[in-house]
A and B are shown apart, each in its own frame.
Chain A
Amino acid sequence: MMYDVIVIGGGPAGLAAAIKSFEYGLKTLLIEVNDRLGGIPLQCIHPGFGIHYFGEDLTGTEFIYRLIEKVKKLGIEHMLRAFVMDIDVLAHNRKKLKVITPGRAFEVETKTIIYAAGARERHVFEVGITGYRPAGVYTAGEAQALMDLYGLLPGEEIVIVGSGDVGLIMARRFALEGAKVKAVVEIMPWPGGLTRNVIQCLHDFGIPILLSHAVVKIHGSKRVEGVTIVKVDEDLRPIPGTEEFVECDTVIIAAGLVPNVDLLRMVGVVIDPATRGPKVNELLETNIPGIFVAGNALVINDLVDNVVEQGELAAYGAKLFIENDGIPASRWIPVRRGRNVRLIVPHYVSGERDVKLYIRVSRPERDVYVAIPEIGKKIYMARVMPAEMITFSVSHREINSLNFLTVEVIRHGD
């Protein structure tokens, strides 16, 4: 049995990729490791999903149900509780997957793969917290799953480490259940999440955010009894003498996500240290022909709309790949990071197709242009910040004669 596309991961990127592939008439199989489709949005009962994609403000659960329903209505072949153990690249247009699922271990072949396995959360040991290792320490996503998929409460006096969107949303979520959120602690001098979330999740609930602070130690041998919080200097180093003990029974780590790329690494996919996801071209194809990546496995997104868009783009890539026996491109132009740009996806463009660039800055700035100097194109932005991904579209006509392309953030007037 030879598929055109096997999609690995049944979250928003994978569902969108499977739907689009199927609509292109490609023989498609969707593989999901959990016992239901949907991925992380299933546990996101807050609104803010689908404003761009559906033109409506939906909860994550509502958003993802629309995609799940579509997969079911179209009758797209999918497997649950199925785990891809290995990918064998037999030829540029032939890959063999080893898949196991309860009661069955089998091999399946495909021309292309769309890898959409999402991300994992950074945990307590990755953020330099020392001290004890008691019960009561959770990642934000784990706490969210406990609360909003299974109706279980992790604790009642909460300190949240990191002010990314997940951390902010969980602060509000705990407050809504009557738990006391003592503080959201952020090591950087600015919040890690979207501004709307800082306002709606913290300010509206009177939850303090401690910027330029870090949790350095967890206390309590069986259950968390408190944390030591310190102020940090400009180099993010603890300032001696600023230690403060805060009593709590629960520590939530919301210190960011890391793309889940272990399987890709095994196959030899090249990883970008900036995104921690694979290096890809404008159709989201990796260095291994016919392996595409979308969603948080590619780059950590802050809007599900972008995730879905990447899934669809990868499906378009798979279609082009199958029609042309490879992605047609006469050459690949590297995309370079310029001033105040922390990451860009894609990493290579052909100049033969229009491109949407996903960009994150290193530090917040006001009154700037996001610019591509080679073509003299720039967009004014009143404010840029690391938490908010910037998208920037360029047409193939603008870039087809370039040898490389740089994206930079320049100050107004420079």
Chain B
Amino acid sequence: MYKVVIIGAGIVGLSIARVLSMYENLSITVVEKEPDVGWGATKANTSILHPGHEEDPEKHPLRAKLCPEGNRIWRKWVEELDIPAKFPGELMVFFNEYEAKDALKYVELAKKNRVPGVRVIIDRDELKSLEPNISPRALGAVWAPTAGQINPIKAAIALAENAVENGVKILFEYYVTGIKVKSGSVEGVMTNKGFLDADIVINAAGVYADEISRMAGVDRFFIRPRKGQYIVFDPNAEPKVKRILHTMPTPITKGVYVITTTEGNLMIGPTAEDIKDKDDVSTSYDGLEFLWKEASKLVVELPPRSMIIRTFAGIRAEPSTGDFVIEAYDNPWGFINVAGIRSPGLTAAPAIAYMVRDLIRNKLDIKLKQKRFWNPYRKDIIKIRNRNWSEVKELVSKNPLYGWIICRDELVSAAEVIEAVKRIQGIGARITLDGIKFRTWAMMGRCQGSFCRLTIALLLKEYFRIDIGKITFAGPNSNYVIGDIKIIWRRGIRK
């Protein structure tokens, strides 16, 4: 039996956990510094399953190989794990002759990377039939039919639930302070909550992967955090897009996207800003204005600004090497880096996981034994939203709490909130308002929680005996309230 510790419960770490959980001679622990899964780059990105025609195999061989592979594996995983996803195809839109010439390059790359169906479209009618709301100024587009979209935070949650079902242990609010290496082999990881034995340590620590790598004595790359800002519109905002639209990539970005998310919101983004602080998820006026300008080019028109319901930013792990760093070492033996997983990392994650398995098999020369009973399936929380009337009636009669609507915008019932909390407990995460939000989509609508947060807090008190003073948005130091209403007076009258 080999003890495996995976550092980081993001989309990459959890994909690896899923694949490795198929083997009976691996005992797997994931350590995560946050109170829940997917709270790093996973929860805040463009949510695209890229086709793989933007990756140059000469410059970035891993990205070019793993992206189209990941796109294929996700199609199976989203079915098995009941993850919201769709595959509408994408149009990389160009506006002038110079860009048109550049576009041909992607058709070539598609051939090299064996991405099917990629071609340039310049016929206006065909463009319009693919995307009725494409800008009249578009000269043409590179059509890539295999492009898809996924709900990335729900993907992480699904992977975590399934991994736990298959015997993986996730330790939350554990952060790694050191890696113990003895005589050229890893022996375990040191954390804020004690030492964990390990024969294999897999570094999937996102923007912090360079620091973890150095702890193991591997100092051959560094991570530059790169920030992307986004704007999300009200689900009622029109016009929406049928396809994924984006401007031409530049050396640092994949362009600005206009998409309709898996949950039905129009969303635009991202910016691409190299920053210093790995936790800087702040939005800025200039960033959002840039998005507005770029996204406006792509579509007939954008909805009015009064229809914006959220702006946010996420951080991506840009490696100094350009390409993903996925490698095992002779020294320290047992340490595997899965670092610099920038775009198209979300797409590539399942393929990365299989590559890590192969490294364990081939490079570490460990013979893996397939489990006889391994459950590939997991079902999402049953929602009342988007059901026909007879299904609604059946749900409410089976579980009365489906008839208690908590979030009116996203139509989320008390039954779903309670189930979400049970599932948070089931993977050992901390119960937080954000955790409930990501699982139920309550507080994601046009009122952004101003009506339902309080109801949810009261429900946590009623059904789970949680003191409202202890409820947090996202773990320590993010309490919903500071205490009862007389707390200041009891401390003594202030000046």
Contacts and interface: CB of A to CB of B under 8 A. Distances in A.
A222 B477 contact: yes
A414 to B, nearest CB: 33
Interface stretch (A49-57, A122-130, A324-332, A380-388): A122-130
Given A138-B450, A152-B481, A154-B481, A105 B488 contact: no
Contacts of A75: none
Contacts of B288: 130
B477 A150 contact: no
A156 B486 CA distance: 11
A153 B397 contact: no
Contacts of B96: none
Interface stretch (B119-127, B252-260, B277-285): B277-285
Contacts of A104: 396-397, 400, 403
A124 B446 CA distance: 11
B448 interface: yes
Contacts of B396: 100, 102-105
A153 B481 contact: yes
Nearest to A101: B403
Contacts of A85: 392, 411
Contacts of B409: 262
A78 B478 CA distance: 39
Contacts of B446: 120
Interface string A125-137: 1101011111100
Interface in B302-331: 306, 308-312
Nearest to A34: B455
Nearest to B414: A102
A153 B477 contact: no
B1 interface: no
Nearest to A138: B450
B308 A125 contact: yes
A100 B392 contact: yes
B483 A152 contact: yes
Which of B392, B395, B405 has the most C-beta atoms of chain A within 10 angstroms of its own C-beta? B405
Given A85-B392, A222-B474, A177 B484 contact: no
Given A102-B403, A130-B283, A178 B484 contact: no
Interface string A203-243: 00000000000001100011100000000000000100000
A133 B312 contact: yes
Contacts of A262: 236, 408-409
Interface in A291-334: none
Given A85-B392, A222-B474, A222-B478, A151 B484 contact: yes
A130 B285 CA distance: 6
Given A102-B404, A177-B489, A178-B494, A135 B448 contact: no
A30 to B, nearest CB: 17
Contacts of A128: 285
Interface string B462-495: 0000001100111111111111111111000110
Contacts of A83: 403, 405, 408
B311 A130 contact: yes
Nearest to B307: A126
Nearest to A265: B236
A357 interface: no
A178 B487 CA distance: 9
A153 B483 contact: yes
Nearest to B385: A85
B393 interface: yes
A58 interface: no
B450 A135 contact: no
Interface stretch (A10-18, A139-147, A186-194, A282-290): A139-147
Contact of B447 (A105, A120, A147, A222): A120
Contacts of A33: 405, 408
Contacts of B414: 102
A223 to B, nearest CB: 5
**Most chain B C-beta atoms within 10 Å of own C-beta, residue among A101, A131, A178, A216:** A178
Contact of B493 (A132, A134, A178): A178
Contact of A153 (B389, B393, B488): B488
A33 B405 CA distance: 8
Given A126-B306, A146-B454, A102 B487 contact: no
Nearest to A151: B485
Interface string B49-82: 0000000000000000000000000000000000
A250 to B, nearest CB: 9
A135 B478 contact: yes
A155 interface: yes
A253 B411 CA distance: 24
Contacts of B475: 222
Given A105-B392, A130-B284, A123 B488 contact: no
A342 interface: no
Nearest to A83: B405
B400 A223 contact: no
Nearest to B452: A142
A103 B482 contact: no
Contacts of A152: 468-469, 481, 483-485
Given A81-B404, A135-B478, A177-B486, 11 more contacts: A100-B402, A103-B400, A103-B403, A104-B397, A105-B397, A145-B454, A152-B484, A152-B485, A154-B482, A177-B485, A223-B479
23 contacts: A100-B392, A102-B400, A104-B403, A105-B395, A105-B397, A107-B389, A123-B448, A126-B308, A130-B283, A130-B284, A131-B284, A135-B472, A135-B479, A139-B450, A142-B454, A146-B481, A152-B481, A153-B487, A177-B485, A178-B489, A180-B494, A221-B281, A262-B409
Interface of B: 236, 279, 281-285, 287-288, 306, 308-312, 384, 389, 392-393, 395-397, 400-405, 408-409, 411, 414, 446-448, 450-451, 453-454, 458, 468-469, 472-489, 493-494
Interface of A: 33, 81, 83, 85, 98, 100-105, 107, 120-121, 123-126, 128, 130-135, 138-139, 141-142, 145-147, 150-156, 177-180, 216-217, 221-223, 238, 249, 262, 265
